[in-house]
Amino acid sequence: MESGHVTTPFGRRSMSLGMLASQMTAREIEPGASIDKWKLYRSLCEARPLLGITDRALSVLNALLSFYPHNELAEDNGLIVFPSNAQLSLRAHGMAEQTIRRHLAALIETGLLVRKDSANGKRYAHKGRGGEISEAFGFSLAPLLARAAEIESLAAEVVTDRLHLQRLRERLTVCRRDITKLIETAIDEGVDGDWQAMIAMLKSVLARLPRQPNASQVEDVLDELGLLRQEILNTLEMQIKVTKQSANAHQSERHIQNSNPDSISESEPGFETKLGAKVVENHDRHAEPVGEGRSDWARPHTVAETEPSLVGGIKAGPGLKSFPLGLVLQACPQIIDYGPAGAISSWRDLMKAAVVVRTMLGVSPSAFEEACSILGPENAATVVACILEKGGYVSSAGGYLRDLTRRAERDEFAIGPMLMALVRLNGPVARRAG
């Protein structure tokens, strides 16, 4: 466009400050500036959301660019195109002329085109004797060249934002998958926790996402789910640490047992009936007192005698006697951590701790109730404490407890050998700690 020259629209179309600003911008082209028109058009397509134009308006602009005879937009080549609406309709895949006029007005409004009208409003060009164009009336592409750097910058911003949103959505998908599978693992392994509440929280957070979320909305949801995932991981890590500690202790136990060729089999019949006298004979002078007065394990009484309110009339199974609480705690010191306030001072406390450990180990309520019915509540709690002490060497605590219960029902299992094996491992440590 000529320096200092302002064009006004033909007919009843009014002039606006925006049109004047576009014409002023079109005159700010750097000398010698040029750009590939199709490369610039691709940038326009990327920057469309920030420029506020529709895809149909871009189709009209594409048709206008196809009338520009050169690939490079440059002032030296002229920047005016002057096709008729009928020609534009053909290049715009048959778009109606009324629709074309509406989108042309939108392109002018957004400052991507400048209209240069002739005296009668027609689009044409004056040519010299050599055929070169001396003056043309139509649409000026000068704003595109003047704003090329801005358009490319906006396009890069849109691409960056789109990639950022894509990465956020990928992270959200991974986080949602992690939470779902970790909760499934926790439920399958019987890890204690309010997993149904966590599932409900996951669904609630995801429900807040709209169908087409922006980056900020995805980030907010991702932050919340990240905290939920971390909470689940912390719970599972604590379970793994407890299992590893139990496995390490049981590994030492196996080493001690294997070094003693005279060790007694857990299923040895008849040992149970003699264990009470043997405990008194071997431990009477070393027993640590449990509560007030004489040692709890210094005399061969049953739990029903010392804790009648705990047993509630239920007797131990056939052929099975309960053992002194002090002996059980010496053999299975890990159960103490699960007692009320981290201590066990009575059989009632041991039963409460056994319920907690039963849940943690994934033992079903039915398996524990069957054990209580066959073995007696105190012996069932003792067996659960032994299973906890064995740790990683018991692959399925529930199945192991059911198997021991059935063997006990057939008089093929005795708790004594299991306890004494653990006493040999943990007894000296317990006495030193006392």
Residue at 51: amino acid letter: L
Gap between the Cα atoms of 403 and 399, Å rounded:
6
Cβ proximity of 423 and 326 under 8 Å: no
Gap between the Cα atoms of 157 and 160, Å rounded:
5
Gap between the Cα atoms of 304 and 313, Å rounded:
8
CA dihedral 178, 181, 182, 186 (to 10 degrees): 170
pLDDT (0 to 100) of residue 163: 92
Supply the pTM of this predicted model: 0.46
Cβ proximity of 47 and 138 under 8 Å: no
Taking only the tens of pLDDT, the chain with its 434 residues reads: 444 466 656 455 665 656 556 556 666 677 778 889 999 999 999 999 898 889 999 999 999 999 998 889 888 777 888 898 888 899 888 899 899 989 998 998 888 888 887 766 687 777 766 667 767 888 888 888 888 889 999 999 999 999 999 999 999 999 999 999 999 988 888 888 888 888 988 999 999 899 889 999 999 999 999 988 998 888 888 888 777 666 555 554 444 444 443 333 333 333 333 333 333 333 333 333 333 333 333 333 333 333 333 333 333 444 466 788 888 898 899 999 888 888 898 999 999 999 998 888 888 888 899 999 988 899 999 999 999 988 767 778 888 899 899 988 888 888 888 888 888 777 544 433 33
Cβ proximity of 68 and 37 under 8 Å: yes
Using CB atoms within 10 Å of the CB of residue 87, give its burial: 0 to 12 exposed, 13 to 18 middle, 19+ buried. Answer: middle
For residue 393, the 8-state DSSP code is: G
**CA 67-72-78 angle, 5° bins:** 65
Gap between the Cα atoms of 315 and 97, Å rounded:
97
Record the tokens describing residue 94, joined without a space: 């048959």
Q: How many CB atoms lie within 10 A of CB 74?
A: 15
Gap between the Cα atoms of 89 and 79, Å rounded:
21
Rg (CA), the chain: 43
